[in-house]
């Protein structure tokens, strides 16, 4: 009779040990899933909206993700050369003001969920208010369009937990730039890779 009790205890111990291991595995999986769900529910997704109309032209940064984006780096390129900021594109344009831009530099910037931040904008209405004639406005808008064409924007950012996101790269009005046979922009691929590390 004593040997039967010992065997039952051994069997009971085995069952308890298996249940404990199962509980540990299930708990670890729950922690993993919770962490994954939290990161999914706070993930920012940045993209650029390029509005190109007769009366208004603008480049807008939009966060369509589920959480805020913390911008850690923003760079602008024209003809593969880095610009000081987006305003550099318009310094030589011959006109009497009339455009707005947002400066990201020196400080950490946040873009909230569903927030739209105009990076640069010009409207014929603003130009009219600055006493430009219709022919001047047409010339200015065409010159502005030419200045912005071919611009590449690079934005590195993290989520609110500090996890680096895949950098956002946007090409403004550049047909065929991302052709698979075009190897001219490998330098930007290297920049993106170095930002993720």
How far apart (Å, rounded) are the C-alpha atoms in residues 101 and 152? Answer: 16
What class has domain 44-196? mainly beta
Q: Provide the residue ranges of all domains of the chain, joining segments of one domain with +.
A: 1-41, 44-196
Q: Kindly report the number of other CB atoms within 10 A of residue 186's CB atom.
A: 9
* Nearest Cα to Cα of residue 53 among 130, 127, 145: 145
CB atoms within 10 A of CB 115: 14
- pLDDT < 70 regions, the chain: 1-9, 39, 92-108, 174-197
Q: What is the pLDDT of residue 196?
A: 53
Cα–Cα distance between 105 and 76 in angstroms, integer?
Answer: 12
**pLDDT at res. 182:** 46
Under 8 Å between Cβ of 76 and 59:
no
pLDDT in tens, 7-16: 555 777 778 8
Strands 46-52 and 56-63: antiparallel
For 125-158, write each residue's pLDDT tens digit: 888 888 888 888 888 888 888 888 888 889 899 9
How deeply is 58 buried, as exposed, middle or buried, from its count of CB atoms within 10 A (0-12, 13-18, 19+)? buried
Residues 6+ apart with CB under 8 A from 95: 127, 132, 136, 139, 140, 143
Q: Quickly list DSSP for 10-54.
A: HHHHHHHHHHHHHHHHHHHHHHHHHHHHHHHHT---EEEEEEE-S
Q: Output the CA angle 171-175-176, nearest 5 degrees.
A: 100
């Amino acid at each position: 009779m004593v040997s039967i009790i010992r065997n039952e205890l051994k069997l009971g111990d085995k069952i308890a040990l298996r249940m404990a291991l199962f509980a540990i595995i299930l708990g670890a999986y729950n922690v993993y899933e919770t962490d994954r769900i939290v990161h999914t529910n706070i993930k920012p997704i940045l993209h650029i909206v390029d509005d190109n109309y007769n009366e208004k032209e603008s480049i807008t940064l939009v966060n369509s993700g589920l959480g805020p984006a913390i911008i850690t780096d923003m760079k602008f390129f024209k003809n593969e050369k880095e610009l000081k900021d987006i305003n550099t594109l318009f310094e030589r344009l011959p006109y009497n003001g009339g455009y707005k831009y947002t400066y990201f530099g020196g400080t950490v910037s946040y873009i909230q969920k569903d927030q739209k931040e105009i990076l640069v904008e010009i409207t014929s209405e603003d130009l009219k208010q600055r006493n430009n004639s219709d022919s001047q406005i047409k010339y200015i808008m065409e010159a502005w369009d030419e200045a912005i064409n071919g611009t590449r924007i690079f934005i590195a950012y993290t989520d609110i937990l500090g996890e680096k996101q895949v950098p956002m790269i946007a090409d403004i009005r550049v047909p065929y730039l991302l052709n698979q046979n075009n190897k001219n922009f490998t330098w930007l691929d290297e920049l993106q890779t170095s930002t993720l590390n």
